[in-house]
Structure 1
Protein backbone atom coordinates (compact mmCIF):
# COMPACT_ATOMS: atom_id res chain seq x y z
CA UNK A 1 0.00 0.00 0.00
CA UNK A 2 1.37 3.41 -0.97
CA UNK A 3 2.27 5.86 1.83
CA UNK A 4 -0.32 8.41 0.71
CA UNK A 5 -3.03 5.74 0.90
CA UNK A 6 -1.88 4.74 4.37
CA UNK A 7 -2.12 8.36 5.51
CA UNK A 8 -5.66 8.77 4.15
CA UNK A 9 -6.77 5.56 5.88
CA UNK A 10 -5.10 6.68 9.11
CA UNK A 11 -6.87 10.05 9.08
CA UNK A 12 -10.25 8.41 8.44
CA UNK A 13 -9.77 5.90 11.25
CA UNK A 14 -8.74 8.65 13.66
CA UNK A 15 -11.99 10.52 13.09
CA UNK A 16 -14.28 7.47 13.02
CA UNK A 17 -12.83 5.22 15.69
CA UNK A 18 -11.14 7.39 18.31
CA UNK A 19 -12.94 7.38 21.68
CA UNK A 20 -14.82 10.50 22.69
CA UNK A 21 -14.31 11.36 26.37
CA UNK A 22 -17.41 11.96 28.46
CA UNK A 23 -15.95 15.13 29.93
CA UNK A 24 -12.75 17.15 29.70
CA UNK A 25 -10.53 17.22 32.77
CA UNK A 26 -8.64 20.42 33.40
CA UNK A 27 -5.13 20.65 34.76
CA UNK A 28 -1.70 19.26 34.08
CA UNK A 29 -1.61 15.67 32.75
CA UNK A 30 -0.24 13.22 35.29
CA UNK A 31 0.45 10.43 32.81
CA UNK A 32 2.36 10.36 29.52
CA UNK A 33 0.28 11.35 26.51
CA UNK A 34 0.61 9.77 23.06
CA UNK A 35 -0.40 11.77 19.98
CA UNK A 36 -0.69 10.24 16.50
CA UNK A 37 -0.71 12.53 13.47
CA UNK A 38 -1.29 11.80 9.78
CA UNK A 39 -1.66 14.04 6.76
CA UNK A 40 -2.00 13.58 3.01
CA UNK A 41 -2.21 15.87 0.02
CA UNK A 42 -0.03 16.98 -2.88
CA UNK A 43 3.51 18.25 -3.42
CA UNK A 44 4.68 20.68 -6.08
CA UNK A 45 8.24 21.40 -7.16
CA UNK A 46 9.19 25.08 -7.13
CA UNK A 47 12.78 24.60 -8.29
CA UNK A 48 15.03 21.54 -8.51
CA UNK A 49 18.54 21.52 -9.96
CA UNK A 50 21.38 19.05 -9.80
CA UNK A 51 24.95 18.72 -11.06
CA UNK A 52 27.46 15.93 -10.41
CA UNK A 53 30.52 17.31 -12.20
CA UNK A 54 32.02 20.67 -13.02
CA UNK A 55 31.95 19.61 -16.67
CA UNK A 56 28.20 18.87 -16.64
CA UNK A 57 25.53 21.45 -17.34
CA UNK A 58 23.07 22.06 -14.52
CA UNK A 59 20.06 19.77 -14.95
CA UNK A 60 16.68 21.32 -14.07
CA UNK A 61 14.23 18.63 -13.03
CA UNK A 62 11.38 21.14 -13.03
CA UNK A 63 12.21 22.35 -16.56
CA UNK A 64 13.61 19.30 -18.37
CA UNK A 65 12.96 16.32 -16.08
CA UNK A 66 9.16 16.15 -15.91
CA UNK A 67 8.75 17.54 -12.39
CA UNK A 68 6.28 20.18 -13.59
CA UNK A 69 3.30 18.27 -12.16
CA UNK A 70 1.89 17.58 -8.69
CA UNK A 71 2.94 14.49 -6.73
CA UNK A 72 1.20 12.59 -3.90
CA UNK A 73 2.32 13.67 -0.45
CA UNK A 74 1.92 12.05 2.97
CA UNK A 75 3.60 11.98 6.36
CA UNK A 76 3.03 10.16 9.63
CA UNK A 77 4.28 10.96 13.11
CA UNK A 78 3.92 9.78 16.70
CA UNK A 79 4.54 11.95 19.77
CA UNK A 80 5.11 11.11 23.42
CA UNK A 81 4.70 13.91 25.97
CA UNK A 82 5.17 13.84 29.73
CA UNK A 83 4.97 16.31 32.63
CA UNK A 84 3.30 18.73 30.22
CA UNK A 85 6.82 19.91 29.40
CA UNK A 86 8.78 17.34 27.37
CA UNK A 87 7.90 15.82 23.98
CA UNK A 88 9.60 13.27 21.76
CA UNK A 89 8.47 13.07 18.12
CA UNK A 90 9.17 10.33 15.59
CA UNK A 91 8.30 11.21 11.99
CA UNK A 92 8.42 9.32 8.71
CA UNK A 93 8.30 11.31 5.47
CA UNK A 94 8.27 9.46 2.13
CA UNK A 95 9.47 11.47 -0.87
CA UNK A 96 9.50 9.65 -4.20
CA UNK A 97 9.59 11.61 -7.46
CA UNK A 98 9.77 9.43 -10.59
CA UNK A 99 9.23 11.04 -13.98
CA UNK A 100 9.63 10.50 -17.72
CA UNK A 101 10.57 13.27 -20.14
CA UNK A 102 12.20 13.70 -23.56
CA UNK A 103 15.93 13.07 -23.32
CA UNK A 104 17.82 16.37 -23.68
CA UNK A 105 20.39 16.48 -26.46
CA UNK A 106 23.98 15.70 -25.44
CA UNK A 107 22.81 14.70 -21.96
CA UNK A 108 25.72 13.69 -19.69
CA UNK A 109 25.87 12.92 -15.96
CA UNK A 110 29.30 12.74 -14.31
CA UNK A 111 30.96 11.42 -17.49
CA UNK A 112 28.14 9.01 -18.41
CA UNK A 113 26.66 9.70 -21.85
CA UNK A 114 22.99 9.03 -22.57
CA UNK A 115 21.38 8.15 -25.87
CA UNK A 116 17.70 7.49 -26.57
CA UNK A 117 14.47 9.43 -26.79
CA UNK A 118 13.21 9.23 -23.18
CA UNK A 119 14.86 10.05 -19.86
CA UNK A 120 13.52 8.24 -16.80
CA UNK A 121 14.45 10.09 -13.60
CA UNK A 122 14.06 8.83 -10.07
CA UNK A 123 14.61 11.16 -7.13
CA UNK A 124 13.96 9.27 -3.89
CA UNK A 125 14.60 11.16 -0.67
CA UNK A 126 12.53 9.67 2.19
CA UNK A 127 13.65 10.47 5.70
CA UNK A 128 13.16 9.55 9.32
CA UNK A 129 13.28 12.24 12.00
CA UNK A 130 13.55 11.99 15.79
CA UNK A 131 12.94 15.22 17.71
CA UNK A 132 12.93 16.48 21.27
CA UNK A 133 10.91 19.53 22.31
CA UNK A 134 10.88 21.46 25.59
CA UNK A 135 7.93 23.69 26.46
CA UNK A 136 9.21 27.18 27.19
CA UNK A 137 5.90 29.07 27.24
CA UNK A 138 2.33 27.99 27.99
CA UNK A 139 -0.50 30.46 28.50
CA UNK A 140 -4.23 30.32 27.90
CA UNK A 141 -3.71 31.22 24.24
CA UNK A 142 -0.06 30.50 23.42
CA UNK A 143 2.23 27.48 23.52
CA UNK A 144 5.89 27.64 22.46
CA UNK A 145 8.19 24.59 22.23
CA UNK A 146 11.81 24.46 21.13
CA UNK A 147 14.44 21.79 20.72
CA UNK A 148 16.33 19.78 18.14
CA UNK A 149 15.97 16.94 15.65
CA UNK A 150 18.12 14.27 14.11
CA UNK A 151 17.08 13.36 10.59
CA UNK A 152 18.25 10.28 8.71
CA UNK A 153 18.14 10.80 4.96
CA UNK A 154 17.92 7.81 2.64
CA UNK A 155 18.72 9.20 -0.80
CA UNK A 156 18.67 7.54 -4.22
CA UNK A 157 19.12 9.46 -7.48
CA UNK A 158 18.87 7.63 -10.80
CA UNK A 159 18.83 8.49 -14.50
CA UNK A 160 18.04 5.95 -17.22
CA UNK A 161 17.68 6.31 -20.99
CA UNK A 162 14.91 4.52 -22.90
CA UNK A 163 13.80 4.29 -26.52
CA UNK A 164 15.66 5.13 -29.72
CA UNK A 165 15.68 8.28 -31.80
CA UNK A 166 15.83 6.44 -35.14
CA UNK A 167 14.78 2.92 -36.22
CA UNK A 168 18.40 2.09 -37.10
CA UNK A 169 19.83 3.04 -33.70
CA UNK A 170 21.34 0.19 -31.66
CA UNK A 171 19.13 1.05 -28.67
CA UNK A 172 19.15 3.23 -25.58
CA UNK A 173 22.24 3.57 -23.46
CA UNK A 174 23.06 5.39 -20.29
CA UNK A 175 22.41 4.72 -16.62
CA UNK A 176 23.56 6.65 -13.57
CA UNK A 177 22.90 6.04 -9.88
CA UNK A 178 23.97 7.87 -6.75
CA UNK A 179 22.82 6.78 -3.28
CA UNK A 180 23.66 7.36 0.35
CA UNK A 181 22.41 7.38 3.92
CA UNK A 182 23.41 10.05 6.39
CA UNK A 183 22.43 12.01 9.52
CA UNK A 184 21.27 15.63 9.45
CA UNK A 185 21.06 17.57 12.76
CA UNK A 186 18.35 20.24 12.90
CA UNK A 187 16.96 22.93 15.17
CA UNK A 188 13.24 22.72 15.88
CA UNK A 189 10.54 25.23 16.88
CA UNK A 190 6.79 24.76 17.32
CA UNK A 191 4.22 27.38 18.33
CA UNK A 192 0.43 27.24 18.65
CA UNK A 193 -2.14 29.99 19.16
CA UNK A 194 -5.60 28.96 20.34
CA UNK A 195 -8.61 30.75 18.87
CA UNK A 196 -12.23 30.89 20.05
CA UNK A 197 -14.66 28.01 19.41
CA UNK A 198 -11.97 25.32 19.29
CA UNK A 199 -9.95 26.65 16.35
CA UNK A 200 -6.18 27.16 16.38
CA UNK A 201 -3.23 28.08 14.19
CA UNK A 202 0.16 26.42 14.49
CA UNK A 203 3.58 26.66 12.94
CA UNK A 204 6.35 24.07 13.06
CA UNK A 205 9.87 24.62 11.75
CA UNK A 206 12.86 22.28 11.43
CA UNK A 207 15.97 23.69 9.82
CA UNK A 208 19.72 24.07 9.59
CA UNK A 209 22.26 26.02 7.54
CA UNK A 210 25.72 24.50 7.62
CA UNK A 211 28.77 26.02 5.91
CA UNK A 212 31.22 23.26 6.85
CA UNK A 213 34.39 25.36 6.63
CA UNK A 214 33.02 27.89 9.12
CA UNK A 215 31.83 25.19 11.52
CA UNK A 216 35.02 23.15 11.78
CA UNK A 217 37.71 25.48 10.38
CA UNK A 218 38.59 23.13 7.51
CA UNK A 219 39.02 23.95 3.82
CA UNK A 220 35.92 21.89 2.97
CA UNK A 221 33.72 24.26 0.98
CA UNK A 222 30.57 22.15 1.28
CA UNK A 223 27.45 24.14 2.14
CA UNK A 224 24.30 22.32 3.22
CA UNK A 225 20.86 23.52 4.27
CA UNK A 226 17.43 22.13 5.04
CA UNK A 227 14.16 23.84 5.92
CA UNK A 228 10.85 22.16 6.73
CA UNK A 229 8.39 24.93 7.68
CA UNK A 230 4.63 24.54 7.95
CA UNK A 231 1.61 26.67 8.77
CA UNK A 232 -1.48 24.86 10.01
CA UNK A 233 -5.09 25.84 10.71
CA UNK A 234 -7.00 23.33 12.80
CA UNK A 235 -10.14 22.58 14.76
CA UNK A 236 -10.68 20.51 17.91
CA UNK A 237 -13.40 18.08 16.83
CA UNK A 238 -13.42 16.63 20.36
CA UNK A 239 -11.10 16.86 23.35
CA UNK A 240 -8.90 14.16 21.79
CA UNK A 241 -9.32 14.65 18.02
CA UNK A 242 -8.10 17.45 15.77
CA UNK A 243 -8.64 18.08 12.06
CA UNK A 244 -6.44 20.50 10.12
CA UNK A 245 -5.29 21.89 6.80
CA UNK A 246 -1.57 22.42 6.33
CA UNK A 247 0.69 24.28 3.90
CA UNK A 248 4.40 23.56 3.96
CA UNK A 249 7.71 24.56 2.43
CA UNK A 250 10.12 21.62 2.23
CA UNK A 251 13.51 22.17 0.68
CA UNK A 252 17.23 22.04 0.97
CA UNK A 253 20.34 20.54 -0.51
CA UNK A 254 24.10 20.84 -0.61
CA UNK A 255 26.91 22.24 -2.74
CA UNK A 256 30.44 20.85 -2.85
CA UNK A 257 32.62 22.34 -5.58
CA UNK A 258 35.72 20.29 -4.71
CA UNK A 259 36.72 18.66 -8.05
CA UNK A 260 37.36 15.30 -6.34
CA UNK A 261 33.85 15.15 -4.83
CA UNK A 262 31.80 17.60 -6.87
CA UNK A 263 28.06 17.70 -6.19
CA UNK A 264 25.37 20.37 -6.37
CA UNK A 265 21.80 19.42 -5.45
CA UNK A 266 19.06 21.87 -4.43
CA UNK A 267 15.36 21.10 -4.12
CA UNK A 268 12.53 23.52 -3.24
CA UNK A 269 8.96 22.24 -2.88
CA UNK A 270 5.60 23.17 -1.37
CA UNK A 271 2.85 20.92 -0.05
CA UNK A 272 -0.85 21.30 0.71
CA UNK A 273 -2.44 18.63 2.87
CA UNK A 274 -5.37 17.66 5.07
CA UNK A 275 -4.79 15.74 8.26
CA UNK A 276 -5.96 14.70 11.67
CA UNK A 277 -4.47 13.96 15.07
CA UNK A 278 -5.65 11.83 17.96
CA UNK A 279 -4.49 12.09 21.55
CA UNK A 280 -4.34 8.96 23.70
CA UNK A 281 -4.17 9.46 27.44
CA UNK A 282 -4.89 12.43 29.67
Structure 2
Protein backbone atom coordinates (compact mmCIF):
# COMPACT_ATOMS: atom_id res chain seq x y z
CA UNK A 1 0.00 0.00 0.00
CA UNK A 2 2.94 2.32 0.39
CA UNK A 3 3.72 2.46 -3.32
CA UNK A 4 0.39 2.87 -5.13
CA UNK A 5 0.93 6.49 -6.10
CA UNK A 6 4.62 6.97 -5.34
CA UNK A 7 6.53 8.25 -2.35
CA UNK A 8 5.64 11.87 -1.76
CA UNK A 9 7.45 12.65 1.44
CA UNK A 10 9.10 11.18 4.50
CA UNK A 11 8.83 11.88 8.21
CA UNK A 12 6.29 11.86 11.00
CA UNK A 13 2.62 12.70 10.67
CA UNK A 14 0.44 14.26 13.38
CA UNK A 15 -2.95 12.62 13.78
CA UNK A 16 -4.57 15.58 15.61
CA UNK A 17 -3.79 17.91 12.70
CA UNK A 18 -5.34 15.60 10.15
CA UNK A 19 -8.41 14.92 12.25
CA UNK A 20 -8.90 18.67 12.66
CA UNK A 21 -8.79 19.13 8.88
CA UNK A 22 -11.33 16.34 8.39
CA UNK A 23 -13.68 17.90 10.93
CA UNK A 24 -13.38 21.36 9.41
CA UNK A 25 -14.08 19.97 5.96
CA UNK A 26 -17.48 18.83 7.18
CA UNK A 27 -18.37 21.77 9.43
CA UNK A 28 -21.00 23.49 7.28
CA UNK A 29 -24.74 23.27 7.97
CA UNK A 30 -25.99 19.77 7.18
CA UNK A 31 -28.96 17.43 7.44
CA UNK A 32 -27.32 15.19 10.04
CA UNK A 33 -24.02 14.19 11.59
CA UNK A 34 -23.06 10.56 12.25
CA UNK A 35 -20.16 9.46 14.45
CA UNK A 36 -19.07 5.81 14.26
CA UNK A 37 -16.72 4.02 16.64
CA UNK A 38 -15.41 0.68 15.35
CA UNK A 39 -13.32 -1.82 17.28
CA UNK A 40 -12.34 -5.46 17.09
CA UNK A 41 -9.43 -7.75 16.30
CA UNK A 42 -7.22 -7.95 13.22
CA UNK A 43 -4.78 -10.44 11.77
CA UNK A 44 -2.53 -10.82 8.73
CA UNK A 45 -2.63 -13.40 5.92
CA UNK A 46 0.68 -12.05 4.64
CA UNK A 47 2.95 -9.04 5.00
CA UNK A 48 5.97 -9.00 2.67
CA UNK A 49 8.55 -6.27 2.11
CA UNK A 50 11.78 -5.57 0.24
CA UNK A 51 13.48 -2.21 0.74
CA UNK A 52 15.18 -1.24 -1.46
CA UNK A 53 13.44 -3.19 -4.21
CA UNK A 54 16.73 -4.13 -5.87
CA UNK A 55 19.75 -6.40 -5.46
CA UNK A 56 20.68 -4.30 -2.41
CA UNK A 57 17.65 -5.56 -0.45
CA UNK A 58 16.12 -8.92 0.47
CA UNK A 59 12.44 -9.84 0.42
CA UNK A 60 11.19 -11.03 3.80
CA UNK A 61 8.04 -11.82 5.75
CA UNK A 62 7.38 -8.94 8.15
CA UNK A 63 5.11 -11.13 10.29
CA UNK A 64 8.16 -13.22 11.24
CA UNK A 65 9.42 -10.39 13.44
CA UNK A 66 6.39 -8.09 13.95
CA UNK A 67 3.72 -10.78 14.36
CA UNK A 68 0.52 -11.57 12.48
CA UNK A 69 -2.05 -11.01 15.25
CA UNK A 70 -4.65 -11.21 16.43
CA UNK A 71 -4.43 -7.75 17.98
CA UNK A 72 -7.05 -5.21 19.03
CA UNK A 73 -7.71 -2.26 16.73
CA UNK A 74 -9.97 0.80 16.64
CA UNK A 75 -11.29 3.16 13.98
CA UNK A 76 -13.20 6.46 14.11
CA UNK A 77 -15.34 8.03 11.39
CA UNK A 78 -17.43 11.20 11.22
CA UNK A 79 -19.79 11.89 8.34
CA UNK A 80 -22.28 14.60 7.41
CA UNK A 81 -25.13 14.46 4.93
CA UNK A 82 -26.04 17.48 2.84
CA UNK A 83 -29.36 17.88 0.99
CA UNK A 84 -30.07 14.16 1.53
CA UNK A 85 -27.79 13.11 -1.37
CA UNK A 86 -24.29 14.42 -0.64
CA UNK A 87 -22.18 12.77 2.06
CA UNK A 88 -18.75 13.82 3.36
CA UNK A 89 -16.89 11.41 5.65
CA UNK A 90 -13.63 11.66 7.55
CA UNK A 91 -11.92 8.49 8.85
CA UNK A 92 -8.99 7.86 11.19
CA UNK A 93 -7.85 4.22 10.83
CA UNK A 94 -4.61 3.28 12.63
CA UNK A 95 -2.86 -0.09 12.32
CA UNK A 96 0.24 -0.84 14.39
CA UNK A 97 1.74 -4.20 15.36
CA UNK A 98 5.04 -4.97 17.13
CA UNK A 99 6.77 -8.21 18.00
CA UNK A 100 10.03 -10.12 18.39
CA UNK A 101 11.27 -12.88 16.11
CA UNK A 102 14.22 -14.11 14.07
CA UNK A 103 14.99 -14.73 10.40
CA UNK A 104 16.19 -18.08 9.07
CA UNK A 105 18.61 -16.28 6.74
CA UNK A 106 20.40 -12.90 6.85
CA UNK A 107 18.20 -10.03 5.60
CA UNK A 108 19.33 -6.73 4.09
CA UNK A 109 16.79 -3.99 4.80
CA UNK A 110 16.99 -0.21 4.35
CA UNK A 111 20.78 -0.14 4.20
CA UNK A 112 21.44 -2.51 7.12
CA UNK A 113 22.00 -6.26 7.37
CA UNK A 114 20.29 -8.36 10.04
CA UNK A 115 21.76 -11.69 11.12
CA UNK A 116 19.88 -14.98 11.04
CA UNK A 117 18.84 -16.83 14.22
CA UNK A 118 19.17 -13.75 16.42
CA UNK A 119 16.28 -11.87 18.03
CA UNK A 120 14.87 -8.90 16.10
CA UNK A 121 12.30 -6.37 17.30
CA UNK A 122 9.92 -5.61 14.45
CA UNK A 123 7.32 -2.91 13.90
CA UNK A 124 4.72 -2.54 11.14
CA UNK A 125 2.59 0.59 11.00
CA UNK A 126 -0.05 1.61 8.49
CA UNK A 127 -2.10 4.54 9.78
CA UNK A 128 -4.51 6.18 7.35
CA UNK A 129 -6.50 9.41 7.36
CA UNK A 130 -9.27 9.64 4.78
CA UNK A 131 -11.73 12.13 3.39
CA UNK A 132 -14.55 10.72 1.25
CA UNK A 133 -17.21 12.36 -0.89
CA UNK A 134 -20.18 10.17 -1.83
CA UNK A 135 -23.18 11.00 -4.00
CA UNK A 136 -26.22 8.92 -3.06
CA UNK A 137 -28.00 8.34 -6.38
CA UNK A 138 -30.56 5.86 -4.97
CA UNK A 139 -32.18 6.51 -1.61
CA UNK A 140 -35.51 5.01 -0.59
CA UNK A 141 -37.01 2.97 2.27
CA UNK A 142 -35.19 -0.21 1.20
CA UNK A 143 -32.04 0.77 -0.70
CA UNK A 144 -29.24 3.33 -0.51
CA UNK A 145 -26.68 3.27 -3.34
CA UNK A 146 -23.81 5.74 -3.54
CA UNK A 147 -20.46 6.28 -5.21
CA UNK A 148 -17.66 8.82 -5.02
CA UNK A 149 -13.97 9.35 -4.33
CA UNK A 150 -11.67 9.07 -1.31
CA UNK A 151 -8.44 10.89 -0.60
CA UNK A 152 -6.20 8.76 1.64
CA UNK A 153 -3.15 9.99 3.52
CA UNK A 154 -0.95 7.13 4.74
CA UNK A 155 1.57 7.21 7.58
CA UNK A 156 3.43 3.92 7.12
CA UNK A 157 6.59 2.46 8.60
CA UNK A 158 8.54 -0.79 8.87
CA UNK A 159 11.26 -0.91 11.53
CA UNK A 160 13.77 -3.62 12.49
CA UNK A 161 16.10 -3.52 15.51
CA UNK A 162 18.74 -6.14 16.33
CA UNK A 163 21.17 -5.12 19.05
CA UNK A 164 22.80 -1.90 17.85
CA UNK A 165 21.59 -2.41 14.27
CA UNK A 166 18.49 -0.40 13.48
CA UNK A 167 16.74 0.35 10.19
CA UNK A 168 13.34 1.73 9.27
CA UNK A 169 11.47 3.09 6.28
CA UNK A 170 8.89 5.73 7.32
CA UNK A 171 6.68 6.85 4.48
CA UNK A 172 3.94 9.44 4.11
CA UNK A 173 1.97 9.68 0.90
CA UNK A 174 -1.38 10.54 -0.66
CA UNK A 175 -3.48 7.98 -2.54
CA UNK A 176 -6.71 8.68 -4.48
CA UNK A 177 -9.29 5.88 -4.31
CA UNK A 178 -12.69 5.15 -5.81
CA UNK A 179 -15.54 4.70 -3.34
CA UNK A 180 -18.87 2.85 -3.31
CA UNK A 181 -21.49 2.15 -0.67
CA UNK A 182 -24.57 -0.11 -0.74
CA UNK A 183 -27.14 -0.36 2.06
CA UNK A 184 -30.28 -2.49 2.30
CA UNK A 185 -32.93 -2.43 5.02
CA UNK A 186 -34.72 -5.70 5.76
CA UNK A 187 -37.19 -3.98 8.05
CA UNK A 188 -37.44 -1.08 10.48
CA UNK A 189 -34.57 -2.29 12.66
CA UNK A 190 -32.35 -4.67 10.67
CA UNK A 191 -30.22 -4.03 7.61
CA UNK A 192 -26.93 -4.69 5.83
CA UNK A 193 -24.17 -2.51 4.39
CA UNK A 194 -21.23 -2.90 2.02
CA UNK A 195 -18.59 -0.16 1.82
CA UNK A 196 -15.41 -0.10 -0.27
CA UNK A 197 -12.47 2.16 -1.15
CA UNK A 198 -10.27 0.73 -3.90
CA UNK A 199 -7.94 1.48 -6.80
CA UNK A 200 -5.32 -0.39 -8.83
CA UNK A 201 -2.44 0.74 -11.03
CA UNK A 202 0.62 -0.93 -12.61
CA UNK A 203 2.64 0.10 -9.53
CA UNK A 204 0.26 -1.29 -6.92
CA UNK A 205 -3.24 -1.54 -5.51
CA UNK A 206 -5.30 -0.79 -2.42
CA UNK A 207 -8.61 -2.27 -1.27
CA UNK A 208 -10.46 -1.56 1.97
CA UNK A 209 -13.88 -3.25 2.04
CA UNK A 210 -16.38 -4.14 4.74
CA UNK A 211 -19.58 -6.20 4.81
CA UNK A 212 -21.70 -5.85 7.92
CA UNK A 213 -25.10 -6.34 9.41
CA UNK A 214 -26.79 -3.40 11.13
CA UNK A 215 -29.32 -3.11 13.94
CA UNK A 216 -31.06 0.19 14.66
CA UNK A 217 -32.83 0.12 18.05
CA UNK A 218 -33.74 3.79 17.74
CA UNK A 219 -33.45 6.55 15.14
CA UNK A 220 -30.21 8.01 16.49
CA UNK A 221 -28.28 4.76 17.12
CA UNK A 222 -27.06 1.92 14.90
CA UNK A 223 -25.08 -1.15 15.95
CA UNK A 224 -22.77 -2.77 13.39
CA UNK A 225 -21.20 -6.25 13.21
CA UNK A 226 -19.12 -7.48 10.29
CA UNK A 227 -15.92 -8.39 8.50
CA UNK A 228 -13.42 -5.95 6.99
CA UNK A 229 -10.52 -6.71 4.67
CA UNK A 230 -7.59 -4.45 3.80
CA UNK A 231 -5.23 -5.57 1.03
CA UNK A 232 -2.69 -3.94 -1.22
CA UNK A 233 0.76 -2.56 -1.62
CA UNK A 234 3.28 -1.17 -4.04
CA UNK A 235 5.96 -2.56 -6.33
CA UNK A 236 8.18 0.39 -7.21
CA UNK A 237 11.84 1.00 -7.87
CA UNK A 238 12.62 1.67 -4.20
CA UNK A 239 9.93 -0.24 -2.28
CA UNK A 240 8.16 -3.58 -2.50
CA UNK A 241 5.50 -3.96 0.18
CA UNK A 242 2.25 -5.96 0.14
CA UNK A 243 -0.01 -6.93 3.03
CA UNK A 244 -3.42 -8.52 3.54
CA UNK A 245 -5.29 -7.82 6.78
CA UNK A 246 -8.56 -9.22 8.14
CA UNK A 247 -10.74 -7.47 10.73
CA UNK A 248 -13.58 -8.76 12.87
CA UNK A 249 -15.47 -5.63 13.86
CA UNK A 250 -18.15 -4.36 16.22
CA UNK A 251 -19.24 -0.75 15.86
CA UNK A 252 -21.81 1.74 17.01
CA UNK A 253 -23.02 4.90 15.25
CA UNK A 254 -24.72 7.93 16.75
CA UNK A 255 -26.62 10.56 14.76
CA UNK A 256 -26.96 14.15 15.91
Is residue 206 from structure 1 mapped to residue 197 from structure 2 by the alignment? yes
Q: CA RMSD in A?
A: 1.6
- After superposition, the C-alpha distances for 1:214-265 in whole angstroms (9 at most, x for unaligned) are xxxxxxxxx1211000001010010110111021111211001x3xxx3110
Quote the residue 1:250 is aligned against.
Answer: 230
Is residue 126 from structure 1 mapped to residue 102 from structure 2 by the alignment? no
Give the 3-state SS of the residue equivalent to 1:69 in structure 2: coil
Quote the residue 1:11 is aligned against.
Answer: none
Kept in 1: contact 2:41–2:72 (CA 8 A): yes
Count matched residues. Answer: 225
- In the TM superposition, structure 1's runs of 4+ consecutive aligned residues that sit over 3 Å from their partners are none
Kept in 2: contact 1:154–1:180 (CA 8 A): yes
Kept in 1: contact 2:60–2:107 (CA 8 A): no
Q: Which runs of 5+ in 1 are unaligned?
A: 1-29, 162-171, 212-222
- After superposition, the C-alpha distances for 1:44-87 in whole angstroms (9 at most, x for unaligned) are 1011100113233320123x224233011110000011110111
Kept in 1: contact 2:111–2:167 (CA 8 A): no
Kept in 1: contact 2:39–2:75 (CA 8 A): yes
* 1:1-282 paired onto structure 2 within 5 Å: 32-53=31-52, 54-55=54-55, 56-62=57-63, 64-115=64-115, 117-161=118-162, 172-211=163-202, 223-256=203-236, 258=237, 262-280=238-256
Deviation at 1:96, TM superposition (A): 0.6
Kept in 1: contact 2:227–2:247 (CA 8 A): yes
TM-score with structure 1 length normalisation? 0.76
Relative contact order (alpha carbons < 8 A, sep ≥ 6): 1 or 2 greater?
Answer: 2
Deviation at 1:107, TM superposition (A): 2.5
Larger Rg: 1
Cα distance between partner residues in 2 of 1:58 and 1:65: 13
Q: Which runs of 5+ in 2 are unaligned?
A: 1-28
